[in-house]
Amino acid sequence: MQQARHLLKTVFGHDSFRPGQEEIVASVLAGEDVLAIMPTGGGKSLCYQLPALCKEGVTLVVSPLVALMNDQVAQLRQSGVEAGALTSNNDAAENERVFSALDNDSLKLLYMAPERIATSPGLLNRLKINMLAVDEAHCVSQWGHDFRPDYLEIGRLREALGGVQIAAFTATADEETRSEIISKLFAAEPRQFLRGFDRPNLFLAFEPKNNPKRQISEFVAARAEQSGIIYCSSRRKTEDMAEHLRGRGVNALAYHAGMDAAQRHINQARFSQEDAVVMAATIAFGMGVDKPDVRFVVHADLPKTMESYYQEIGRAGRDGLPADTLCLYGVEDIKLRRRQIDEGEAPEARKRADHQRFNALLTLAEAALCRRQTLLGYFDEIALPCGHCDLCKNPRQLFDASEAAQKALSAMLRTGQIYGLEHLVSVLVGEETSRITEQRHNLLPTFGVGTEFDKSQWRSIFRQLYAAGYANVTIAQGSWQVCEKARPVLRGEMKLDLRFPEKQAERKRSSARTAPIELSDAGDQELLKALKTCRTDFAQSQNVPAYVIFPDRTLIEMAQSRPGTMAGLMQINGVGAKKLERYGNAFLRVISNH
């Protein structure tokens, strides 16, 4: 480990390991097969990159996305490490560079997609491969949302290479997925490292939809000059959201799989190289996001599962600095996700499991107590109230909702279970719309019996009943129907507690807070801005992401400590020997000018 610690500082510029890294690196260096589950931003890449530098030969890294491979190769080369990727995007010069480094035994890490590996047996057999490092190992799970069929070939590749050591890494894997990874990739039980799932720097928040474009605009406006991602459920929504934000002065771009490939590449490059870019995207903008200074992630629509939600918010705050998350949700989201499960081609057992995973996310959305406790509880972790989520900042109260539920369920039954939410809410609050009077629903016993709540409060009660399985909404007409589970509530045989529905006007927007300012001193802020400009100039001239030069955390430390010499700059976290040689004088000049 002495060599590893030396390289940690001289190559990567870190004085110490992050929590959990050192024991994994030691296990890999000892030749053990490893499966490591670490939170996004926990430093998984270092756990195989550092051992690769200590070993003779080439470490083959299996990675699912070209953008992710290119970013990691760029980062390694900036640090003076000979690394390369063989991808479909390579030009002849880049391929020549990689093959030349392989021929003279100088290449330490070779990145390839599983599909490329499956078609390159001759190349791999003649290389001195010392280890297989599998990034995003959950892609081997056939029922996971990121399943990649060619990941199933990795186990056979390991055998073809003579049982070479394998180290697999992922941020998201429940017990079922972990078992599948082990059975598909490893010959025997690997050494497992299960780091905690908590990301304490992330502020967690959910809000019911109430004019989503306005909600998101206000959220983004409170975070001016920050980079963020807004996940939308459709391609069209990404375009509409980006256009909406641009109309309000936000540097917003769209990203989805249906875009022209060249434009998609340009937008991704701008997001990586520029500061304060907001990307409205589908989940196609997913695992390839390696930008560490994403300061917020917004879900304009409810994700598919708890795992999807966790993985997607994990793209914020990978540098460990504070970051915000906001998830909007409504009844239409719930209908869409349940329909997608029901109409899918998975076996019935898998559909039941998928419904359970989605219901877990609904539980998080409608939680009354600490979000982080609910989220970590899903991953079998016990946590105290975090004090760092919207519910801890603005606690919700539970109330005996038995009578309110009876009124809502009765409204469904007495109107024939063929009407939508707004009609039922109008019945309960006694609103004589033309449709209500036409259908004579103003004469029903349930008409006007719910005046203790306003319409937004009743929508919350209906949404909670739906999320908990007491009511169903038909896919075609959106009609609300009573589920069998609700019969004991209707008959008064069962008490039902729900979250007390706040009035819209009284709801505190705790999620719309501005993320903490990184530097309190105005002079330091000006210096940080100048350092970022210097970084951007280098990134654009080399056509690499800005964080590949230096991440925000490193620039913040420069602005705070203001080193005046190369030796002082070398003490900054993230400044290795090669980066000091390349950029030291330029950044010292910026510091001296301030």
pLDDT of residue 51: 96
On the question of pLDDT at 423 being above 90, the answer is: yes
Q: Which CATH superfamily is domain 202-393 in?
A: P-loop containing nucleotide triphosphate hydrolases (3.40.50.300)
53: Cα separation from own chain's centroid? 29
- For residue range 208-230, list pLDDT tens digits in order: 898 999 999 999 999 988 999 99
122: pLDDT strictly greater than 90: no
| Mean pLDDT of the 426-453 span | 94
Average pLDDT of the chain is 88
CATH topology assigned to domain 2-194: Rossmann fold (3.40.50)
Q: What is the mean pLDDT of residues 76-105?
A: 90
Mean pLDDT of the region 529-552 = 90
Spelled out in words, what is the top-level CATH class assigned to the domain 522-592?
Answer: mainly alpha
Q: What is the mean pLDDT of residues 334-353?
A: 84
Distances (CA, A) of 390 to 16, 129, 325, 368: 33, 49, 10, 10
Q: Would you state the pLDDT for residue 512?
A: 42
Residue 379 in 3-state DSSP? coil
Q: What is the pLDDT of residue 515?
A: 45
Which range (50-54, 503-507, 542-546) has the least confidence? 503-507
What's 389's DSSP letter? Answer: B
Q: Name the band, by pLDDT with cuts 50, 70 and 90, for residue 476.
A: low
The pLDDT assigned to 448 comes to 95
* pLDDT at res. 223: 92
CA distance 461 to 212: 20
Q: Give tens-digit pLDDT for 486-521.
A: 999 999 999 998 888 877 555 555 444 444 445 667
CATH code for the structural domain at 398-507: 1.10.10.10
For 294-323, the pLDDT digits (tens) are 999 999 999 988 888 998 998 999 888 899
- Least confident range from 141-150, 337-346, 520-529: namely 141-150
List, for residues 126-156, the tens digit of each pLDDT value: 788 999 999 988 888 765 556 777 888 888 8
Domain boundaries, the chain: 2-194, 202-393, 398-507, 522-592
Stretch 110-123: mean pLDDT:
83
Q: What is the pTM of this model?
A: 0.79
Percent of the chain whose pLDDT exceeds 90: 51
Tokens in use for 97? 């560079």
Q: Do domains 202-393 and 522-592 have the same CATH topology?
A: no
Spell out the residues 6+ positions from residue 451 whose beta carbon is closer than 8 angstroms to its own.
429, 430
Angle at 40 between CA 39 and CA 45, to 5 degrees: 100
